[in-house]
Each structure stands twice: as C-alpha cells, then as structure tokens.
Amino acid sequence: MFASVYDDVLRRNPGETEFHQAAREVLETIGPVLAKHPEYVENKIIERVFEPERQIIFRVPWEDDRGEVHINRGFRVEFNSVLGPYKGGLRFHPSVYLGIVKFLGFEQIFKNGLTGLPIGGGKGGSDFDPKGRSDREVMRFCQSFMTELYRHLGEYTDVPAGDIGVGQREIGYLFGQYKRITNRYESGVITGKGLSYGGAQVRTEATGYGCAFFVEEMLKARGSSFDGRRVVVSGSGNVAIYAIAKVRELGGVVVACSDSSGYVVDEKGIDLDLLKQIKEVERRRLSAYAERRGTDVATYVPGGNVWEVPCEVALPSATQNEITGRDAEALVRGGCIAVGEGANMPTMPEGVRVFREAGVAFGPGKAVNAGGVATSALEMQQNASRDSWTFEFSERRLQEIMSDIHARCLETADEYGMPGDYVAGANIGGFKRVADAMMALGLI
Ligand code: NDP
Ligand code: 2IT
C-alpha cells in the first residue's frame, strides 16, 4: 500500500524531489500507527495529508534602485488546517521553487502538531535573492509580494513568519503593507514582528534556543550534558546564532560555524558579539569574522565543508540536505555523539542511516527546531489578548514546550516499539494528532 501511495506522490508532484524525500521519510515511519488504526486507512488520511488544501503561485514584479524591472515568483502552500490556521514561514532564496515550499509545508504540519498548539501547516516564499540588495529594494519587493498574498492571509486563516532570507526587517515591511492594504491593525496575521509593533519576546531567539534545549534533553536522557562539549553549528543566520548563544550558556564550546561561502574555526569558541555584528548588523560574509577576530585565533576556510571539523555535538542549522552520508561518517569518526537538526531536513537519508547505525542520538528538525513556530504561536496568543509577556516568562514557556516535545517523542517511540528513535517518535506523534483531528472533522 505504501508503495502505491508513494508512487502517487511522485506522479502528482513531478520533479519536486525535496517533497518526495520528506514524504518518503514520513511514510517509512508511520506503518505501525496505520496497523493500529485501520480507520485512518479506510478514510484515506495519508492520501489526503499528502495533498495540500490549497497552493498559491503568483507573479511578484518590482523595480530595483536603478529603475530596472524584475519579476520573481511567489508561493504559499496552505497544506493542512485541521489543527488551526495555516502556520509557517516564508523563505526568500534563489533556490525556492514549488518542491521546496511543499517539503517545508509538509514538514510543518507534523512539527506544528507535535507542539500541541493550535496551528495548522503551511509555507511560502519566493525565488527572490535578498543578498546584496538595498533596504529600499527589499522593501519594494516585500510590498509587491504582500500586495498579492494579503488576500489569502488572516489571523484565523493563514499566518506567515520568517525563514531563510526573511528576518525582522522583511516581516516589518510585509506587515506594514498588509496593514496599509486592509486598513486593519491585525497583529496576529504575521509573527516574528519587532517588539515595537506587536512582536513577542524570545521569538527571535526561539528556534536556536529551542534547538539547544532539545539537545540538552537528549544528552540528559543519556546521562550526559553540554558541559565542556565541542560543538559545531552550520549556518550563521537566525537559527545558528541563537543556538550558539544557548549552547554556550549551557556549557558547550562552539568551535565552528559556516555560511554558503565557507566556514570558520575558532578554537576559543565563537565570539557571539562579533558574529552578530557581522551577520545581523553589517550583513557581511563570514570571512569578515576571521579578519576581525584575528587570523591567529580564527581560521576561515573558503568553500570548505564545516562537517570536516571534529566535534561531539553537531547542530546543522543552515539548509536542507547539507549532511551527506559521507559527512555523517566523518562526524562519527570524529567522535560525534549527538546531532540536533536546527534546520529543516538538513540530513540526507543516507546520513540518518549512518547516525542510527552508529548509535548517535539523532534529533530530527520537526522536533528540534519546533521552538520557533511554538513561540510564534505564543506571539499569536499575546496578540489575541493584547498582552505581552516578559522575556523570562516566555523563555520558560519555550523550555517547557521543548521538554514536552522531547518527552512526547520518546514516549511515542516506546509505545510503537522503537525505543530511543526520535525520528519515529516525532513523525508518529505529529501525524497522530493531525490524523485524529482529520477524522473528527469529517471528509473535507
Ligand atoms: P537565515 O537566512 O537567517 O540563515 C541561513 C544560514 O544558512 C545562512 O548562514 C546562510 O548562508 C546559510 N545557507 C542558507 N542556504 C544555504 C545553502 N543553500 N547552502 C549553504 N548555506 C546556506 O535562515 P534561518 O537561520 O532562519 O534558517 C536556517 C534553517 O532553519 C532553515 O532550514 C530554516 O528552514 C530552518 N528553520 C528556521 C526557523 C526560524 O524561525 N527562522 C524555524 C525552524 C527552522 P548565506 O548567508 O551565505 O546564504
Ligand atoms: O520552519 C519553521 O518552523 C519556521 N520557519 C518558523 C515558522 C513560524 O511560523 O514561526
């Protein structure tokens, strides 16, 4: 039966390789749930869950600072709304096409289910490349993007947020245009907002912090901790920066991070203030980090592969498919005992197999990076009640949510006879919650 479902996914979504990969990974782990729940099979829950409720593709015309006209493509895949309004980020990166948006939206359904919060799954974005663009160009692009997308959004309908290439600056421009077009101050229509206009404490930090909290729980479950451990984090964007910050607070030493041009090794531990200055304020390349830190302390390796740096804990926090089977083998050889996916689907299937066979504690993105969207749901709660919580309270909530997700993964994996398997635990835990709600709401 699975083979025919998967064949159908291939046939209906030609060329969308990332979506095929994400679908296959879920199919491979939910067999035991379907065996226990024949009603899911009779009601074609799996077939339905693979088909987005709605897919929107639109033209985004905009003008650069020299007056040249550009045309990009915008996407929003509204995948599943049985648990709540569609919720998931927007990605601006030249590689974006329907297959990437669909894989991310599909993952988001189960991730959001796993949080236990009332949010459905969706994702969007554009093949727009913000790199090297001025603030004004980014603003004009965001305004044009929202001029089409606004009609599909709403605090009870679809609530976007950030992802690769979309941070607080872009969210501000997007929200500003939504507000202008609709003439409504509808704070809960988008999350990741700045604190001056309805944003929530800890949302900026949430994905990275949550990733570190989850991995701390995985280490604790094995009688260990971050204390004194050598850690490598890939990427140097939103998720990576705040994962580095929290790992350091928890006692780990992050010795390397990367961007799409190369990586830096800093044996004294990445200097967080410097990294933030270069990446968040100046929006420069990582090579500038080594130049300013001093080449006697930090080494920049242009075009290098960060997984060549030996570590005990690896936190891939850049993009999909960044850890190959070979990278996983190198990590295992270098003494890696735990991997936590800050990014979405950063480990290729072969890499997951290598980690599993080597007994490495492996936390999948759906669970490990769920702190971002969970804190987005907390932002929506605060917006709905016109309230704002303190940093300390919000961080405590995040920590509890991550600890609950960790426990749910392990309990679910136990219940279905796969003890310690976080991949099965996360997929089944998320799927079950969505499937039960789909059953309850009837054939829609
Ligand atoms: P950012 O845009 O802030 O940072 C992305 C980082 O990854 C940059 O250092 C970037 O390098 C690098 N990167 C991006 N694409 C590639 C690529 N194709 N090859 C090599 N390096 C690349 O994004 P985020 O930190 O927000 O997102 C990182 C990951 O985390 C993504 O997988 C995202 O889906 C996931 N995620 C994000 C959440 C959030 O709240 N932001 C929540 C949950 C998951 P460069 O600058 O050179 O492009
Ligand atoms: O992949 C993700 O979970 C995100 N990019 C965050 C989504 C959100 O709505 O906060």
Same fold flag, 2-186 and 206-363:
yes
Q: Which of 336, 289, 296 is nearest to 314 (CA)?
A: 336
Quickly count: other Cβ atoms within 10 Å of residue 75's Cβ: 24
The C-alpha atoms of residue 410 and residue 91 are separated, in whole angstroms, by 31
259 Cβ inside 6 Å of ligand 1: yes
Ligand 1 centroid – CA 113 distance (Å):
23
Token output for 90: 């927007």
Cα–Cα–Cα angle for 301, 302, 305, rounded to 5 degrees: 70
Cα–Cα–Cα angle for 420, 359, 266, rounded to 5 degrees: 110
- Closest ligand to Cα 342: 1
Q: Which residue has the tokens 């995040």?
A: 398
121 Cβ inside 6 Å of ligand 1: no
Query: Given 123, 193, 366, 432, which residue is catalytic?
Result: 123
Helix, strand or coil, per DSSP, at residue 129: coil
Residue 1 is predicted with a pLDDT of: 56
Q: Is the dihedral of CA 17, 22, 28, 33 positive or negative?
A: negative
Ligand 1 centroid – CA 385 distance (Å):
31
- Closest ligand to Cα 286: 1
Contact indicator for 87, 108 with CB cutoff of 8 Å: yes
Contact indicator for 20, 349 with CB cutoff of 8 Å: no
Per-residue pLDDT of the chain (444 residues; tens, 9 = 90+): 578 999 999 999 999 999 999 999 999 999 999 999 999 999 999 999 999 999 999 999 999 999 999 999 999 999 999 999 999 999 999 999 999 999 999 999 999 999 999 999 999 999 999 999 999 999 999 999 999 999 999 999 999 999 999 999 999 999 999 999 999 999 999 999 999 999 999 999 999 999 999 999 999 999 999 999 999 999 999 999 999 999 999 999 999 999 999 999 999 999 999 999 999 999 999 999 999 999 899 999 999 999 999 999 999 999 999 999 999 999 999 999 999 999 999 999 999 999 999 999 999 999 999 999 999 999 999 999 999 999 999 999 999 999 999 999 999 999 999 999 999 999 999 999 999 999 999 999
Query: Which of 101, 123, 239, 315 should be mutated for ligand 1, with most atoms under 8 A from CB?
Result: 239
Helix, strand or coil, per DSSP, at residue 442: coil
The domain locations on the chain are 2-186, 206-363
The phi, psi pair for 6, rounded to 5°, reads -65, -40
Quickly count: other Cβ atoms within 10 Å of residue 376's Cβ: 28
Query: Which of 87, 108, 109, 163 should be mutated for ligand 1, with most atoms under 8 A from CB?
Result: 163
Contact indicator for 182, 164 with CB cutoff of 8 Å: no
- Closest ligand to Cα 96: 1
Q: What is the longest distance spanned by two Cα atoms in the chain? A: 65
Q: Is the dihedral of CA 164, 211, 107, 321 positive or negative?
A: positive
Query: Which of 93, 106, 345, 376 should be mutated for ligand 2, with most atoms under 8 A from CB?
Result: 376
The C-alpha atoms of residue 336 and residue 331 are separated, in whole angstroms, by 5
Helix, strand or coil, per DSSP, at residue 324: coil
* Residue with CA at minimum distance from ligand 1 atom 35: 343
pTM, rounded to two decimals: 0.98
369 Cβ inside 6 Å of ligand 1: yes
Contact indicator for 177, 142 with CB cutoff of 8 Å: yes
> Which residues have C-beta atoms less than 6 Å from ligand 2?
87-89, 108, 161, 163, 191, 344, 372-373, 376
Q: Counting beta carbons within 10 angstroms of the beta carbon of residue 417, is it exposed (0 to 12), middle (13 to 18) or buried (19 or more)?
A: exposed
Quickly count: other Cβ atoms within 10 Å of residue 185's Cβ: 12
* Residue 113 vs residues 222, 238, 271, 436: alpha-carbon distances, Å: 26, 23, 36, 11
* Residue with CA at minimum distance from ligand 1 atom 46: 259
Ligand 2 centroid – CA 20 distance (Å):
20
Active site residue 111: no
What angle in degrees, to the nearest 10, is found between the helix axes of 98-115 and 17-29? 30
* Residue 308 vs residues 265, 329, 360: alpha-carbon distances, Å: 11, 10, 17
The C-alpha atoms of residue 385 and residue 62 are separated, in whole angstroms, by 36
Fold adopted by 206-363? Rossmann fold (3.40.50)
- Closest ligand to Cα 205: 1
The C-alpha atoms of residue 95 and residue 75 are separated, in whole angstroms, by 13
264 Cβ inside 6 Å of ligand 1: no
For the CA of 203, the closest atom of ligand 2 is 10
Could you tell me the CATH superfamily of domain 2-186? Leucine Dehydrogenase, chain A, domain 1 (3.40.50.10860)
Q: Which of 238, 106, 235 is nearest to 161 (CA)?
A: 238
Give the helix/strand (H/E) hosting 343.
none
How would DSSP label each residue in 153-202? -BTTTEEEE-BTTB-HHHHHHHHHHHHHHHT---GGGS-S--GGGT--TT
